[in-house]
Structure 1
Amino acid sequence: FGFRAPRSHSVVDIAECPAIRPAIAALIAPLRAFSQTIGALGRNAEISVTETDSGLDIAFRPAANDEPTLDDRERLAAFADAHDIARLAWDSGQGAEPLAARRQPRAAFGSASVDLPLDAFLQPSLEGENAIVGAVTGAIAKATRIADLYAGCGTLTFPLSGIAPVHAYEGTQAMVAAMRRAAAGRPVTTHCRDLARNPLNETELAAFDTIVFDPPRAGARSQAAAIARAPAAMVIAVSCNPATLARDLRLIADGGYRLESVLPIDQFPWSPHVEIVAVLKR
């Protein structure tokens, strides 16, 4: 019971982890013992635990994609009650199913409180998230209309909406719906769009004077090529992959933007990974 070794399927056993939040660390021993009682987990499974503003959110993902038995389901619900878990879900490969929903997991982004859907994308640490948000918002002296691409649940969208109206684009419907509910009364417009397959073109991007994009590790090659042709005065890129970021920044710079700053943020303790915020201007 522990974490995977680097570039390996081997599991390194742990008894404690100083890099995680105290509420999650306190659950290591109970989860270790409890997971051995759930037959449907098999010999190989992943358990994700997220600390939200309303409590812990847990998802069990068996490698064999087995479904829990009725007894398993009763034990999982009882575990959630015993340890005051906000939500406990099971994902057998067909989408996560909540087995215990005692409270709605929520996260605050700027002044908004967002109800987190199952499998919501979040930054790995609150401290890292705050550093990213501060770097992005701090780089914008003035804006009239902002595009937030690959917006997730609104980590950057809602803080940016305190500067100027924001159009947030995200490809996962559940996260778009969560943003839309939280956006009531705020200058935020949400769009469900797969930017990898259907990037905003230069005509659509011309509506914005500031463009922010935070893609997955694969980067945003097609979207970056379109951004390079956009007239926006500022582009801010956020990435957890320096290699794909460098490729995307090259595309944008070739379109006439100049790279003003690059800020590395070490939000992955004891790992070689790094988050980066890059600012470009015309």
Structure 2
Amino acid sequence: MSFGVKLQDAMRLKGRVCAGIDPHASLLAEWGLPDSVEGLREFSQRALEGLAGAAAIKPQSAFYERFGSAGWAVLEELLRDARSAGVLMILDVKRGDIGSTMAGYGAAFLPEGAPLEADAITIAPYMGASAYDATAALAAQHGKGLFTLALTSNPEGKVLQRSVSADGTAVSAQVMEWTNQVNDLHCAGAGLGSFGVVLGSTVDDMTKVLGSAFSAFNGPILAPGFGAQGADAEDIRRRFAGHEHQVLASSSRGLLKAGPNPAAMQEALVKAVEEVESALA
């Protein structure tokens, strides 16, 4: 089964919320945990227990990588435990490089049995579309997915993502067009495509910037910014009108701040799902 179909089924069953696992040093401290590998492991275990009811979980690899090989080992454990629990994992690694290097990254995260096997990874596509062709093919071969950074809400991204070509098309719109082509190539007739984009849920002028690339998009949309970053369920409804079946609202701190009690995080997730589902109904 393709990643897109798995995600579509998960969103129908569990609601359209993705739970981020971002073990910032400050969050470890808020939870009363040491800023160490032991604290990282305890944080990850509690977060998975509390948030496993989400349609997908999105660990941020940077907060594991900062502990070196021991942190990678904790991330491997988290991915393995989530897989055993039947939870879809979108690993937030934001890799972006030339084709041969991307092939190496893809081999680390996408094949069945890979040490850091995830259901999908995030990628930064600014080395040119063809640099990701082999990675996309590898993902499709193993029923996995990619989420490509397109129009994010961080101010630093505006200059590049909103730059326009000679025909007036924004770079972010070109990214969506390329992602659509990849879905047409690998996922035609399979339901929701396995290749998605990241669109910030706090971006007000999304439709204007993306134009027809947005209206024609046929893959999943990962929408960070819901919750603590300022976007609410009504913003999700308004900004992603016409794409309700594709959007996966992502919340990290908004859910994790309910910790360290897994039951409290579970309650926060249920509330977030209710808000999003009510708005998108």
TM-score (norm 1): 0.30
Q: Which structure's residues are more often helix, by fraction?
A: 2
TM-score (norm 2): 0.30
Q: Which structure's residues are more often strand, by fraction?
A: 1
Q: Which has the larger radius of gyration?
A: 1
**Taking CA–CA contacts closer than 8 Å with sequence separation of 6 or more, which of the two structures ends up with the larger relative contact order?**
2
